[in-house]
Amino acid sequence: MTFPDQKLPDIAAYASAYFEQVQAAQASVDADTLKAAFALLDESYKRGATLYVCGNGGSAAISNHLVCDHSKSGQTDTDLRPKVVSLASNIEMITAIANDISYDDVFVYQLKTLAESGDVLLTISSSGDSENVVRAAQWAKDNTLPVVAFTGFAGGRTADLADINLHVEGDNYGVVEDLHQGLMHILAQYLRLSHMDDATIPDRKF
């Protein structure tokens, strides 16, 4: 069974049912896995490693948003200088690779070009099975770059490849993407919070 599996009488009823799905998805996020993801990103940022992020569609939008919130917000009022690159943002590079080679290689080609030892890959895929995301994760794993995966549905191949799989239990793309966006914000905001002076926190907006 999936959501939705039938028509609902009006949009208010649909919204109520949707929010129930979101609440259930929130409850499914494993706290220890979230702590592990934060610890990896925090340590990576502190030593100057670069975080590469990728995803398709709505997940591409989350990837691009992550750059802003982790890199810009992460260094506001802190001693951090997070280096974050979205492999989904350079449309010229993406279309050139897709046209000349394959859309399946749009992320891994860039990763091979840019990544250095000690960098980190974060993949965002509701299904966890998008071929271009899987190829990036496989290359990272083969080259000893830690992989964090945001997944939903059954987890897909990226769940198996990831060192840390932040999985959301849900079978609706909107619900899963809402939670992935929330996890992105949680990681970014706590990163900033944990590096701020205690006296500064009450005077700032998050």
Tens place of pLDDT per residue across the chain (206 aa)? 699 999 999 999 999 999 999 999 999 999 999 999 999 999 999 999 999 999 999 999 999 999 999 999 999 999 999 999 999 999 999 999 999 999 999 999 999 999 999 999 999 999 999 999 999 999 999 999 999 999 999 999 999 999 999 999 999 999 999 999 999 999 999 999 999 999 999 999 99
Could you tell me if residue 24 is inside a domain? Answer: no
CA distances from 16 to 19, 22, 23, 87 (A): 5, 10, 11, 35
Could you tell me if residue 178 is inside a domain? Answer: yes
Burial of 182: CB neighbours in 10 Å, binned 0-12, 13-18, 19+: middle
pLDDT of residue 153: 97
Place of tokens 């999985």: 167
Could you tell me if residue 164 is inside a domain? Answer: yes
Could you tell me if residue 174 is inside a domain? Answer: yes
Burial of 179: CB neighbours in 10 Å, binned 0-12, 13-18, 19+: buried
Q: Are 161 and 191 in contact (CB under 8 A)?
A: no
pLDDT of residue 85: 98
Domain of 186, CATH number, reads: 3.40.50.10490
pLDDT of residue 88: 98
One-letter amino acid for residue 118 of the chain: G
Could you tell me if residue 109 is inside a domain? Answer: yes
One-letter amino acid for residue 172 of the chain: N
Tokens coding 75: 């260094």
Give the largest CA-CA distance in the chain.
Answer: 54
Calpha distance 103→130 (Å, rounded): 11
pLDDT of residue 110: 98
Residues contacting residue 50 through CB under 8 Å, at least 6 positions apart: 83, 84, 85, 114, 115, 116, 119, 120
pLDDT of residue 148: 98
One-letter amino acid for residue 138 of the chain: Q
pLDDT of residue 202: 95
Calpha distance 123→200 (Å, rounded): 33
* Number of independent structural domains in the chain: 1
Could you tell me if residue 14 is inside a domain? Answer: no
Could you tell me if residue 20 is inside a domain? Answer: no
The model carries a pTM of 0.96
Q: Is the Cα dihedral 102, 137, 53, 131 positive or negative?
A: positive
pLDDT of residue 79: 95
Could you tell me if residue 36 is inside a domain? Answer: yes
Helices then strands, counting H and E runs in the chain, come out as 8, 5
Q: Are 138 and 121 in contact (CB under 8 A)?
A: no
pLDDT of residue 69: 97
- Give the domain extent around 54: 30-197
